[in-house]
Every structure is written in structure tokens, then in C-alpha cells.
Structure 1
Amino acid sequence: MSNTRSFIAWIFIFKVGCSLCFPAENNIVINNSSSSLMGVPSNLPKQTEILDLSQNNISKIHIQDFASLQWLRSLNLSINRINNVANASFRFNRKLECLDLSRNELSNIECHFLNNIISLKYLDISYNRFLSLTLGKPFGFLKNLKYLGLGSREAIKLQKNDLKEISRNQLQEVSIGLKYLSEYELGTLLVLRTTKLHIVLPSAGTSALLSKVLHDAFTSSDTLKLSNIDCSQTCDNYINGFKALGNVRISTLLLEELTLSWLEFTSIIVPIWNTRIKNLSIMDVTLNNIRFSASQHSDRVLESLIIRRIGNSVFYANPSLVYDFVRKLKVENLTISNSNQLFLACPEQGNHFKFIDLTDNLITSDFFFQDCNSLNLLETLILQQNELHQFYKLSTMTQYMKSLKHLDASQNKLTLDEKTNCLWTNSLKKLNLSSNRLTDLIFTCLPSNLEVLDVEKNNINIVPQRVNNLEMLRELYLGSNKMVRLPECSNFRNLEILYVEGNSYHEPSSNFLQNCPRLTRLNAASNPFACTCYLRDFSRIKENTQVEMVGWPESYQCAYPVNLKGTLLKDLYLSEVMCNPVLLLLIILGSMTVLAVVMGLTCHFLDLPWYLRMIYQWTQVKRRVMKTDLQQLHENCVYHAFVSYSQQDSGWVKDQLLPYLEERENPFRICLHERHFIPGKGIIQNIISCIEESYKSIFILSTNFVQREWCHYELYFAQHRVLSEHSNNLILIVLEPIPQYMIPSKYYELKLLMAKKTYLEWPADKSKQRLFWANLQAAIGIKLTAATEETLL
């Protein structure tokens, strides 16, 4: 619900503590405050546990209004116009623990509606229009009551019998508004049994009336809170009342909402100081004029003094009197915060300061406590949220504080622009410098015996590799800086706690833990992790170490690459193969080797090289055929091809070659020496004539061929034609493998052709012969001129 936060804020004002009425996470909360309601809504969920109906216009509470809310625990009806609550309004709300009816129009304090609320712990009926504070009998049955708020906006009298109904109950806190008190019977407040008492003092009245109230208030509880000390008109009654204090019971006093001058302020404080009070807290003070004068002091040492929110209603103020007052204070623990105009001088010798908190003021480091050698007992100094600028001045301020262990200078404007020999006290153990403007140079200007260092929310990019004088450091807080790599633990051998959340770490390595043997807690959450192989070891850090990982696993997510954005590091999986280059290379080489072996075996068993070679030859022949210019052919070519072969291979020529070439739909004209040599003509002349009249010359190569001398002549003349015409008309067919050593050395032309010339191999496998004939047909298959075709026919 949108107003849940404001409702929770209301819950916090329950002075008994959060444990009584603060809603748990699973409570059903209904917030209908400031909704202009004229009555209690009738459609409230029956499971409602926390209900806020404050700041509306409700005037009456009826019996049936809350009858269905059996689980109701907290009910806020404050700031309405309620003038009547039916007697049995809460009889069904057995679990009701917190009820706020303050600032309404109730006039009858008998409160019979309380009869059935046996679990009630918190009850506030203050600032109504009661004509007296005589509590009714129902208050006597509230055995679990811990907090009670009383008071009226009408003039009332207060007598002993008024509070007798709660005199048997041990309460934690009672708050009574006596702002309009007209008469008081001495001893009335003494009937209360409470740990803490809050009195809103009368705004007017005689000194005697105020003295009686203060007398009883200071002797009725352990902790007393007094508010509404308004000296705008006169302060004599308050001053006289505090001066009249004798033996007091309380040990802790809280003063709130004071409006007075500095002289009146000190006149009230000094009498209180002289009592047995140990702890004094003063809040919301307004100094309303410029009547400053020398202050009185007490020799008694106070355990603690807290002053918060001091302001001036006038522009001018004399700081020297404030200096004098603070310098002479005898107190062990001093807190002055939210003053915004505080100037604090060095205390006198012999002071008892052990703790000083000066949060949220206007202190600068230029002169504050410089050369102050009187704070020998000071152990803790808190300077949060001030105007400190020079880090070097901060260090010199501490050089005489021989007992200082903890210094907090966070939320200032500290800078350090150059390396400096800082003058720290040797006793300092804990230093908080978070939320400043410090850079990497801060590590050159730190005290030597530090055990805890907080430099979160600065401008630190890196921790230098060599950091001196920090061997005692146990806790280091570096969150929300600009660091891109983790600090070297070798610089901090005793480090136990390291916070580096909210930086710019992309791929932190877990190897730094090897130099941090004592590390027990690590916070590296909310960094932009790049989930690559470099991050793999870090993503397993929770599994491989006993170090406590703060924020794990929900705050450790991948930012890069995009496909892994939002992935938790604990769920990140990167295989060993991806992240090990040597292993990946071995796998690739092994795979390639296996693939090569498999391909080799496949080629061997399937004759794949032969098929590839034959296909290559076919494509090459086709390419040459496409480039051939038919006009360059000899016009006297009458044969498609001349075939040269050994007589021993004539069987293959006549049974395989000639039938395929001559017995087809478009037959080739083949020239053979035994058919076309002209009788009476010389053999060499016949060979030359046949070769010149044939477009192609086919040579059937075999061991028989190389042993036939005339075959060599035919090949010689055919090669000579090729060279002279720059043609490519030789076709070599190898019937069987011919080793080079079987070719006679005198046939070197044949060796050259066998080495350079692409040839066709006759396959014994019939399944491969179709590809052989296709290649041969492509090699021969160029049509002759039309005239030549007619001659052939």
C-alpha cells in the first residue's frame, strides 16, 4: 500500500519499543489515513492486523465497527473527532496490543471500552478533552500494559487518587501532558511504577506548582524526559524549580523543546549538573535572544552529555561564551550535533573527555583542535558530516591525542593532493574516511597501527602494490569507489574482513586469497562482472574456500556478455575446453588427425582420388573445348581421332574402344594404321599423314606400347604437331600402370608427357567405366566443319 511507510513511521512513536507494535513482514497492513472518512469502513479485510485510520473525520466508534477484525493487533485512531467510543467496541479484538486515540474529542476518561482488551500493551489517550485525569477501573485490568499516554487540552487538576488504578502495574513508559495543569497534589506522580517518565511541563503557573511537579518527576523513575520549557515570557519559574531540586532518583534526564536565552540555558543546566544525574540529553533548543553572559560550571563529572539541534532565532551570536562553556565541561562522553554553527575550542587541562561526537556541524580542519595537547584521555572522536577539507590538517590534529583509538571523519570534503608525511597519533586503531574526495594517495598518508580502515565512497582507483605501515590492518572497506582490480593481500597480511562492493571489477581473480590466509569475510557484491573464462575461478570461490561471501549469491551477477546478463555467478558454467587453450588445441589437432585418417581410409576403399582426378580431367577438357577456336582447325581434318596402340593391345581397342566410338548415334571417325595406311607409301609418311588428317591423337599406353618402336615415332610426330600448332590434341589412355623405370631412356619425350600430361586411366571396375567414357567423349567431342562432315559421310 502506498502509505505503508507513513504508517510505519507512526508505529515508531510507540515509546515502548519496536517489538510491541512494529509490523512484521507478513502482517496485513491497511492504511486509510488522511482519507476524509466520516466513519470506520465496513469493507475492511477480516485478516487485517495493522490498521491506520488517523487524520480523518470520524466522530463515533460503534460496537460493530471492528467486530469482524479478530486478528487486529494495532489500531491508530489519532487526530480524528471521536467524542464517544461504545463500551464493547473492542470485545472481539482479543489480540489488540496497540491502540492510539490521542488528539480526539473524548471527555470521559473512565474508558469502559477497555474492559475486554486483555492483550493491550500500548495505549495513548493524550490530548483529548478530559476534564480530569481520574482513571477508571478498566485501567486496573490492563495487566500487560507497557506504555500509557495521558493528557488533556483542557485545564485540569492532578491528585494522588487520579492514577491509583495503574499503581500496581509495572510500566515501561508513561507520558503525561500537563501543559494546561492548574493544580497539582504533591506525591501524585510517585504512585507510578515506571522505568521512564515523560512530562510535558505546564506552560504557565506558579513556581510552587512547577517545583512540586519537578520534585515528584525527579524521584519517580530511572529515566525522566521533560519537554516544553518555554522561556519566551519568563524563565524564573523553571530556574527556581530546578534550583529547588534536592535528592533525585533518576540517573538519565532528557530535555526537549527548549526556548530560552544562553544565560537561561546555563542557569537551568548547572543545578541539574549538581544532582546525581549521570546522563543528560538536551534536544531541540532555540536560543531566542543575544543575552550572553559568563556561564557557571559545576565540578561534578557527568558520564554523558548529548546536545542535539541547537539553533538561534536571531542572526548574531557570540561564540566566545560557547567556547568557554564547552572548554570547561566536565564530562566523559560529549555529543553536540545538528547545531550547524558550532565552534569548538581546545578544552582545559584536566578534562575527562573520552568520547566526543560532533556530527553535522560546521567544523573545518583549518584550526579545529590544532596543537591541542589537553585531550589525553580521548578515545573516540566523531566528526561526521562537517566541513573538513584538508586531510593533512586532520592528521596533525590527532598528534597529541595519545589515547585516541577511533576517529570518524566520514561525509566531509577531505582531499589529499600530494604525498605528505602525515603526523598521526600512534594509538589510532580505527579510521573512518568514507564519503569524502580522497584518491589513491590516501595510502601514503595513513597511521601505522591501523586495524580498521573505511574509505568507501571516495575516488580511489587502485590500492598501490607497495603500502607501508599497514601490517596490523584487520578490516578494510573499499566499497563504492572506482577500482578495477582487487587489492594485493600481500600488503595486509593480517586482513580478516575486506569489502570491495560496488566498484568496477570485471574479472577479479580468486588467486589473491592465497596471500590472505586470515581472510574470513569478503564482500565483492554489485560489481559489473564479465563472465568469461577469467572469472571462472572466482565464481567457484564459495565452493573452494571457507571465506564468508557477503551478499552471495543474489548480489553476484553477470553484467557481460549480453546473453549472460543477470546470470548468478553460482550458476555460471564454462567448460574446461573453452577455458584451457592447450586442451582446446590438443582436441582440435586430435580431431583433425582422426578426420584425416578417416578420410584417407575412405578414399582408399572408395577410390575417391581416382574419381576426383577423372572429374578434374573432364572439367579441364571442357574448359579447353570452350576456348577452342574452330576456325583454327585444319580444313583437311577428315578424322576425329587417330589411335596409336601396340598390336598386343589390339583386343582392347577392337572390343572396347572402337565399339564405343564408332557404334553410337553420332559416331566418331577413327583412323587406324591397319585400316588407313596407304600401301606402297612409307610408314613414316603414313604416320604423318594420319596425324595431320586427324583432329585428335589417342595413344593407348601400356608396357607393350613403350616396347614398340613405331609407337614412339607416332607419339613423336603427334607431339611435334602439338608444339607447332600450339594445340592440345593429345589424348593419353593408360591401360595399366607403367613404372618410370620400364620406359627406355631414349623415350624421354614419353617420360616428359607421363610426368606433365594429364592422362586417362582405364578402370578395371565396371562401375567406374562410365565416367571414363564420358571423359573420353568430352576430350574428342568437338564437331568438325560442315564440309568435313560431308567428306566423312
Structure 2
Amino acid sequence: MTQNKEPAFGCFYFVCIIALTVGSIIQFSDEAEFAIDMSRKRLTHVPKDLPSRTEILDLSQNDIADLRMSDISFLSGLKVLRLSHNRIESLDFNVFKFNQDLEYLDVSHNWLQNISCYPVVSFRHLDLSFNPFHALPMCKEFGNLTQLNFLGLSTTKFQQLDLLPIAHLHLNYLLLDLAGYYVKEMEVESLQILNTKTLHLVFHPNSLFSVKVNMSVNTLGCLQLSNIKLNDDNCQLFTKFLLELTRVPSLLNFTLNHMETTWQCLIRFFQFLWPRSVEYLNIYNLTITESIDEGYFTYSKTALKALSIEHITNQVFLFSQTTLYTVFSEMNIMRLTISDTPFIHMLCPRVPSTFRFLNFTQNVFTDSVFQNCSTLIRLETLILKKNGLKNLFKVGLMTKNMLSLETLDVSWNSLDSNMYEGICSWAETIAVLNLSSNVLTDSVFRCLPPRVKVLDLHNNRIKSIPKGIMKLETLQELNVASNSLTDLPGCGAFSSLSVLVIDHNSVSHPSADFFQTCQKISSIAAGNNPFRCTCELREFVKKIGQVSREVVEGWPDSYKCDYPDSSKGTPLQDFHMSPLSCNTVLLTVTIGVTMLVLAATVAFLCLYFDLPWYLRMLYQWTQTRRRARNIPLEELQRNLQFHAFVSYSEYDSAWVKNELVPFLEKEDIKICLHERNFVPGKSIVENIINFIEKSHKSIFVLSPHFVQSEWCHYELYFAHHNLFHEGSDNLILILLEPIPQDIIPSKYHKLKALMAKRTYLAWPTEKSKRGLFWANIRAAFNMKLTLVAENDETLKRPQSELAELGLKPLKHEPSSTFHPSFVSGSIHHGRKARQQVAGMAIGSKELTS
């Protein structure tokens, strides 16, 4: 952001030269072995273990009392030596005999009273000031210092030719410490200073000015005086002291540091200086004492261009404000700076003013300043930062009659754009406007100078840039950093925008259209924002990659993800998201195509390989194995004699005898067949009950013929009843042929329920699938089961037992075949079951084979 600052003139220019000269000496290397800082270490002597390659050595602010050749002779490359603020009482320049490259020596603020001379030729900076010398410490050898730029000296008295040894040198800066200068009554000394660009005289800080010295300087460009304490009595002595110095036509810059004076003496000083050749007057730390009374001041023709007063302390509390402000407002100069003062106002000049630059930083000005002022017609720059301004509309109205105003700085105030008064008026010439560090909101964009080129709004309370704002077609630079903006502004209203600063805002997903609407952007700073690294940010990062890296300020270090937490701190340049995850249409099409392909593949597998059948059979095999492992072995084998009991219709006997039985017996599975196992003479029901109880599982071969057999249904009913009471999984259903639901009699609701809820094994017609079918059958049995031997006596049940239940002896239907299944029930449970089956038989018609 372009900023207009008051330029540094005169003395500051020469000080900068000295600083650059010193800097060129200091900045040899950043390596620790070349620069040694041992200041503030309470050292009493120079350390002996310094690296021999040391070039910069800082020993200031210690307790070193003397300096010997052996202390530094081994530092042959030494260029800078700082020994200020120690306790050195004498200095022999012979100690630097082996330091031929030494250019910077500072022994100021010590206890030096004398020096011993030795030929030295390399010094550029030599500071012997602020030491208790009785006379100027001058050696004729100093005349050989042809490269000397800075020389600092102290003395308590002068002789006219004290500086003769260096008269031929052309110094940039001569510092004379006169804090201990002794004044003899009625005696005026003289000192001839031939060639120096800057002369800095330092007086005693707590004593009234009383120096009586006639100083003559040939080529003096800048004069600095420090610690000036005046009252009405010695004011004339001070102007008399300045008389000889200010006669030099080359003196353009005059600086006073720490000046304490009365108001009348200050006016007399201004009046004395007004006709002189001085162009730039600077006063720092001015204290006004006693009283402020109206005085007569003649604004004659002057060479003075700029007056700068910084930090005024006013010890006068009752005075006329007009008296104070009139002196400054009527000055016929171009530049006026009065900053860091208790001034609450400034008057409007009574006649058209010559002011082109006014700087009133850090005062207490209010909105009433320069209202209805029409005499500042030449003013180009106005700085009112750090004051008490509150109303933005009054500030705009203040500038209405400033016909030449180009730069306005009202930053660091309390300006509020919501204090609407119906008037929005600005000087049309304003090109640079600084409104930063106020309390401005979005409405500020509705009242701005129409031709502004540089606009600074950083550190305000702006949340968005409204769409219905006035068009700023000439705006080139916009700074809205440190606000609460959530997106980059478009260039619809800023058609000439080339520089945008929007860092430290709340921009989370900036629009990628910014670079399309702002074609003239040459620099954008949008770092340090809480970027949300989601799909919305992908296009913006892509656009940044397409523009030059010089355009995006702070890239990539200041651009990091803030959300989501998994990406927090990740640089945006390392943030990547696939096009598929960010393009909804593409994602939908991809998922759709994938699902279609998958569906087609599944359909093909189902049709060609009968995949559902394989999956169903595999699932059944897995579940059967799991259930078989979960039943404790000892629980299963308490009274079991058979692995399986088979029930089927006589019409399906061929399949049972030719397929099922051979496979089971080949696998050592002991099965119960009614032809060989049922006890003759016993009733069918009693045989069924006994042998189902003595079998591990019951196998039912289901077919249309099976559902037509009532005996098969009874066998299924009892096996299911046994499953219910014992909690075991003892039913194996084999679907030999498909059974239409409509052929199952409605009274056989148990059969319908079992076929609807339980998983059955379907006999495959294809031979290739039968291996998996038999594997499922095999998995249903626990071959570790120990069966008890058959005992015919245990199978005998007296007919009287059935007669007691009211049952008639029943014959076994020859079309039904039985096979024992595993049941872990007790005799008690068996009796209950027999009672229920008997009851069922009694309630129906008598069955015969």
C-alpha cells in the first residue's frame, strides 16, 4: 500500500550517510565467529579467548578500566570495536598498532581525561565524546585520517585553533559534547570549525543555556543542538550564540532536541530564524513553561519551508487557545508538522495559506477542525491520524473546499460511517485516502471520494462490500486487511483495481471468478485467512497456479488450510482433491455407470453360473457348521443311537435309497430306516417318538408327494416340537422338487411356517452343483459324536401305555419312510411329546395305511 510520509531533510540525510557508513562496516558477515557481542556482561577486562577471526567486537556497558595492546593485538582483522559506557581512564592509540583494519572505534561515555597519540590512518568513525576532557582531545596524527566521516569530542573550554589539525578534512558529522563546559564571566571564546556538513552540539541537560562562544564554520549544512534550556532572561544570549552559526548560507537544516523555553522566547526564536537561510526546522521534545501570552510576530518573507515539532509538553494550563494556534496557522511556509501534543484544535488561516503539507498526528483534534475552511486551497497532503475524529461525513465535508488536496490520512481515529447526516461530500482531487484503524462498517463504500486511487481500509469492521456501492473507476489499490470479509471483492465497481490486500480476514472459500473479473490485478495479498480446504477452494487454488507467483503476495507460506481439522496447517499448494469427488454430475454418472456394470455382471453370473444358488448353499453350509460347533458334545450324546432320522414319501423312495442313503452311509453316518430299525408290534406313533428321540437330527425330503401324506406331516410336527423344547437345531429340510404353496393343505400350518422360516437345501438337477449340496449335508453332522449301542429292550413300549392315553394302535403308512434325528431330550420331554401327538391323533379322524 502506498503511503505518503514526510521526507527526511537536512540533518537526517547526513545522519543516514553516517549510518550507512557504519552499516557497511558492520555488515561483513552474519556468522557468529565474525561478530562477537559481549555487552552488559559485567566484564572488568577484555576476554582472552576471543576468536582470532573476529571483525566486530562489542564490549560496551561493562566495567573495563583499561585497554592494552595484548588485549586486541591478535585480532588482526578487527574492523569495529565498541567500548562505550565503561571505566577507561586513559587511551594510548599505540594499542591499535596491529589492528590496521580498524575503522570504527567508540570509547564514548568513559572516564577518559587524556590520550596518547600514535599514527593511525584507517579510522572512519572515532567517538571520544562524553568523557571528562579539560581540552579538546586532539592529536596532529588525526590529520592523516583522510577517510574520517564521524568525529566525537568533549571539552570544558575552547581555544580558537583547537581544531586546526583536522582543518583540511571534510567531515560528515562533528559531535561536540559541551555538557561540562565552564563559562568564565565576561569572557567570550572563539572556535573555528572549518569543514563539516553536520555539527551537533550537546549542552548540559539541567542547566540554563550560558555558552559564550563564537563559532565559525565554512561548509555547514545541518546544525543540531541538544539540551537547550531557556527563559526570558537568557533568550537573547541564545540568539546571539546562533548569530554566527546561522550566517552560513549553506545551513539549510536546524534541529533542536530537548528544548525547554517560555512561549515568548519561542516566538523570539522563530522571529530570529525567519529571515535566515534555514529551510527545515525540527524541534523534538519541546516543553513550554511559565505563561502563554499574546505576542507580536511578523511573518516576513522567509526561506523556511518546513517546521516540524514533535512531542510538546505544555506546563501552562490557563491560556488563550487562539493565541497558541494563531502563531502556527498563519505561518507562510509550505510544510507544518505538529505531532504528539495536547492540542485540541487548529485554526483555519485567515487568508489563503501557503500550506501544502499539514501533519497533526497524535493530537486531540475533533470533528470541528477545519470545518467551513476555505483558505487551504493549496493544501495537497493532510494527516490527522491518531486524533479524536468520529464522524466520517464531517471529515468528508471538511475537505470540500480543499481544492488541491490529494492525500488524506485519518487513520487511528474513531470514525464511524453509520453516523449518516444526509451529506456525503469530498474534495474531488483526493487520490490517496487512509481510513485504516477506525470503526467503519460496510456503509463506508457508499461515501468515498469519487476519484480515489489508493484506499486503505484495513483494521476496521467491514464484513462485506455491498453490491449497490458507488463505482470507483479510478481505484487502483485497495487495502481491506484485518476486517471480517468472507470473500474476495469483485471488480465490478473497481474496474481499474490492480493491487488488493485482504489478508487477516474471514475468507474461507474465495471465489475463483475473482481473477476473471479483475483482469488488471498485478498484486494480491490474501494470506492468513481461515481457508476451508473443500471442493469450493479447488478452483481458486487452480487459478493461483495459473498466475505468476509475483502476483500472489506471501504465497505459499501465508496460505494454509484451517478446515477440516485433518488438513489444518496444510499449505494450499499441497491441497488436492480429485475431480470426481468435487464434480457432482461426474460423480453421479460414474456411480450410475458402475452400478449398471455391476448389475449386468451379477445378472450374467446369475444366469450363466446360477450364482445365487451357490451363495445360498454356501451360507447354509457355514451356518450349519457354526451351529454344530456351538452345541456341547456331551449334551448331544446322552442317549443317541443314530445320526439321522429320515422322513419321506414312498413316491420319493427311489431317490432316498439310490442317492441319499448311499452317501450318508459312505460318510459313516448312522441312519434309522423303518425297514430295519422299527420294532414290530409297536404302534407307528410309538416307533416314531422313540426313534426321533434317539436320533441327532431329522431329515425331511420335501416334495409335492410329501405334503399330501398326513403321516409325514405328523413326523414333521413332532420333530419341530422336539426342537422347540430342547432348544437344538435338529431339522434338515431337503427340497427334492418345488412345492407350490397352493397344494399345501391349510390345516398343515406347521409345514407352511417351517418352509417360510427355515432354510432348506434344494436338490440340484445339474450334476456340477451336487458336490456343494453334499458338502452342506456333511457339515450338518458332528462326527465326533459317540452313539450308544442299540438295545431292543429300550425300544419296547407296552400297548397299555397308549391305551391309557386313549389311543388306538395305528399302522404305519407304507408310503412314509423314517430316519432317526439327533435330539437331546429327556424321557420326561418324550412323554410330553407323546401325549401331545396322541392328543392330536385323537382329535382327528383315525388314520390307516
TM-score (normalizing by structure 1): 0.80
Listed one character per residue, the Cα deviations across residues 393-428 of structure 1 (whole Å, up to 9, x for unaligned) are: 211111111111100011112223344432211111
3-state SS of paired residue (2:336): strand
Q: How many residues align?
A: 724
Q: Is 1:644 the equivalent of 2:636?
A: no
1:87/1:171 CA distance change after superposition, 3 Å: closer
1:269-348 alignment, distance < 5 Å: 269-290=270-291, 292-301=293-302, 302-341=304-343, 343-348=345-350
Corresponding residue of 1:58: 64
Deviation at 1:640, TM superposition (A): 5.0
Listed one character per residue, the Cα deviations across residues 632-679 of structure 1 (whole Å, up to 9, x for unaligned) are: xxxxxxx955543559x84x544333445678663312469xx9999x
Deviation at 1:537, TM superposition (A): 2.6
In 2, the alpha carbon distance for the partners of 1:688 and 1:135 equals: 142
Corresponding residue of 1:564: 567
Q: 1:442 aligns with which of 441, 444, 467?
A: 444
Q: 2:658 aligns with which of 651, 655, 660?
A: 655
Corresponding residue of 1:36: 42
Tell me the amino acid that sits aligned with residue 334 of structure 1: L
In 2, the alpha carbon distance for the partners of 1:488 and 1:592 equals: 42
3-state SS of paired residue (1:610): helix
Listed one character per residue, the Cα deviations across residues 246-277 of structure 1 (whole Å, up to 9, x for unaligned) are: 56331222223322211111111112110222
1:27/1:319 CA distance change after superposition, 3 Å: farther
In 2, the alpha carbon distance for the partners of 1:178 and 1:606 equals: 112
1:189-588 alignment, distance < 5 Å: 189=193, 191-192=194-195, 194-200=196-202, 209-210=212-213, 212-213=214-215, 216-217=216-217, 219-232=218-231, 234-242=234-242, 246=247, 248-290=249-291, 292-301=293-302, 302-341=304-343, 343-365=345-367, 367-420=368-421, 421-546=423-548, 548-588=551-591
1:584/1:97 CA distance change after superposition, 3 Å: farther
3-state SS of paired residue (1:61): coil
In 2, the alpha carbon distance for the partners of 1:186 and 1:432 equals: 52
1:662/1:227 CA distance change after superposition, 3 Å: closer
Deviation at 1:306, TM superposition (A): 1.2
Corresponding residue of 2:774: 770
1:720/1:128 CA distance change after superposition, 3 Å: closer
Q: 2:142 aligns with which of 124, 139, 143?
A: 139
Query: Mean Cα displacement is larger for which, 608-617 or 527-536?
Result: 608-617
Deviation at 1:430, TM superposition (A): 1.0
Q: Are the equivalent residues in 2 in contact too, given 1:251–1:278 (CA < 8 A)? A: yes
Corresponding residue of 1:188: 192
Q: Are the equivalent residues in 2 in contact too, given 1:642–1:671 (CA < 8 A)? A: no
In 1, the alpha carbon distance for the partners of 2:147 and 2:220 equals: 19
Corresponding residue of 2:30: 26
1:724/1:64 CA distance change after superposition, 3 Å: closer
Corresponding residue of 2:158: 157
1 or 2 for the larger relative contact order (CA 8 Å, sep ≥6)?
Answer: 2
Deviation at 1:373, TM superposition (A): 0.5
Tell me the amino acid that sits aligned with residue 584 of structure 2: P
Q: Are the equivalent residues in 1 in contact too, given 2:219–2:248 (CA < 8 A)? A: no
Q: Are the equivalent residues in 1 in contact too, given 2:91–2:114 (CA < 8 A)? A: no
Q: Are the equivalent residues in 1 in contact too, given 2:292–2:324 (CA < 8 A)? A: no
Corresponding residue of 2:91: 85
Listed one character per residue, the Cα deviations across residues 485-510 of structure 1 (whole Å, up to 9, x for unaligned) are: 22222221111111011112222233
In 2, the alpha carbon distance for the partners of 1:731 and 1:226 equals: 116
Corresponding residue of 1:8: none
Percentage of pairs with the same residue: 31
1:110/1:348 CA distance change after superposition, 3 Å: farther
Deviation at 1:475, TM superposition (A): 0.7
3-state SS of paired residue (1:270): helix
3-state SS of paired residue (2:324): helix
Q: 2:111 aligns with which of 92, 105, 108?
A: 105
In 2, the alpha carbon distance for the partners of 1:657 and 1:127 equals: 122
Listed one character per residue, the Cα deviations across residues 264-314 of structure 1 (whole Å, up to 9, x for unaligned) are: 111111121102222222222221211523231232243211122222234
Q: Are the equivalent residues in 1 in contact too, given 2:624–2:780 (CA < 8 A)? A: no
Q: Are the equivalent residues in 2 in contact too, given 1:151–1:178 (CA < 8 A)? A: yes
Listed one character per residue, the Cα deviations across residues 6-36 of structure 1 (whole Å, up to 9, x for unaligned) are: xxxxxx9976443222444715443333433
Tell me the amino acid that sits aligned with residue 509 of structure 2: E
3-state SS of paired residue (2:281): strand
Tell me the amino acid that sits aligned with residue 94 of structure 1: Q
In 2, the alpha carbon distance for the partners of 1:65 and 1:130 equals: 25
In 2, the alpha carbon distance for the partners of 1:36 and 1:355 equals: 49
Corresponding residue of 2:802: none
Listed one character per residue, the Cα deviations across residues 511-532 of structure 1 (whole Å, up to 9, x for unaligned) are: 2121111111011122222222
Listed one character per residue, the Cα deviations across residues 75-101 of structure 1 (whole Å, up to 9, x for unaligned) are: 221222212223332233333332111
Tell me the amino acid that sits aligned with residue 716 of structure 1: Q
Tell me the amino acid that sits aligned with residue 668 of structure 1: C
Tell me the amino acid that sits aligned with residue 344 of structure 1: M
In 2, the alpha carbon distance for the partners of 1:732 and 1:418 equals: 89
Deviation at 1:325, TM superposition (A): 0.7
Deviation at 1:437, TM superposition (A): 1.6
Deviation at 1:144, TM superposition (A): 1.8
Corresponding residue of 1:96: 102
3-state SS of paired residue (1:239): helix
Q: 2:80 aligns with which of 74, 78, 81?
A: 74
Q: Are the equivalent residues in 1 in contact too, given 2:208–2:229 (CA < 8 A)? A: no
Tell me the amino acid that sits aligned with residue 98 of structure 1: Y
Q: Are the equivalent residues in 2 in contact too, given 1:326–1:347 (CA < 8 A)? A: no
Deviation at 1:363, TM superposition (A): 1.3
1:760/1:350 CA distance change after superposition, 3 Å: closer
Corresponding residue of 1:716: 708
Query: Mean Cα displacement is larger for which, 339-348 or 195-204?
Result: 195-204
In 1, the alpha carbon distance for the partners of 2:276 and 2:252 equals: 9
3-state SS of paired residue (2:114): coil
3-state SS of paired residue (1:21): helix
Tell me the amino acid that sits aligned with residue 21 of structure 1: V
Query: Mean Cα displacement is larger for which, 101-110 or 442-451?
Result: 101-110
1:353/1:205 CA distance change after superposition, 3 Å: closer
RMSD: 4.3
Corresponding residue of 1:6: none
Query: Mean Cα displacement is larger for which, 263-272 or 74-83?
Result: 74-83
1:658/1:197 CA distance change after superposition, 3 Å: closer
Q: Are the equivalent residues in 2 in contact too, given 1:645–1:700 (CA < 8 A)? A: no
Tell me the amino acid that sits aligned with residue 171 of structure 1: L
Structure 2 gap ranges (5+): 1-12, 632-643, 693-697, 722-730, 783-818, 834-849
3-state SS of paired residue (2:671): coil
Query: Mean Cα displacement is larger for which, 88-97 or 503-512?
Result: 88-97
Corresponding residue of 2:799: none
1:61/1:671 CA distance change after superposition, 3 Å: same
Deviation at 1:383, TM superposition (A): 0.8
1:645/1:98 CA distance change after superposition, 3 Å: same
Deviation at 1:368, TM superposition (A): 0.7
In 2, the alpha carbon distance for the partners of 1:184 and 1:384 equals: 47
Tell me the amino acid that sits aligned with residue 323 of structure 1: Y
1:690-729 alignment, distance < 5 Å: 716-718=708-710, 721=713
